[in-house]
Amino acid sequence: IRTSATTEVFGDSAVAQTSGIRFADSYTIDERRTITDEQGSELWEIDLVAVDFTVAFQAATVTVDPETLRPLSVILYAVSGLPFYRVFYEEYQVQGEDDVYVSTTRIVNLLLPGRVTRSEILEAAAETLDAALFDPETFGVTAEE
């Protein structure tokens, strides 16, 4: 995507929340507890710690539905423990038989009240792409062009 330096692509969210957080690969569990939501349903709240300093957010608290094992939301923290964002996983979709992905995400900036970014995946597909699209020398120009 070619844009100018001042173009806002993802609103107020950082790349880490927009592209997805790899809970299983990037974090270890520090603590887990059972909580009750406003409707009286039991949920799990899991505190995570980053496996190394290359992870964008060094700590996270994930709220999980214990029946589906799907994250409902996550609070992302800085090294200092200051909460930066709360990400709500509002809608899930299934592609094929068992490929589950989050299709609607709401990212709330906890440092700047009122700043919210909404992300929607309208369609997910898998297709083979021409290798020339990934060649920095051609900038996406394919043989057909």
Tens of pLDDT, residue by residue over 6-46, are 555 556 666 565 566 788 888 999 999 999 999 999 999 99
Query: What percentage of the chain has pLDDT greater than the value 90?
Result: 40
Does residue 82 come out as left (phi exceeding 0), alpha (psi in the -120 to 50 range) or beta? beta
Name the maximum alpha-carbon separation found in the chain: 59
The Cα–Cα gap between 35 and 101 comes to 25
The Cα–Cα gap between 47 and 22 comes to 14
Q: What pLDDT does 74 receive?
A: 95
The Cα–Cα gap between 20 and 18 comes to 6
- What are the C-alpha distances in Å from 11 to residues 20, 55, 106, 116, 123? 15, 21, 11, 8, 20
The Cα–Cα gap between 7 and 112 comes to 20
> 3-12, 52-61, 115-124: which has the minimum mean pLDDT?
3-12
Q: What pLDDT does 68 receive?
A: 92
Query: What percentage of the chain has pLDDT greater than the value 70?
Result: 81
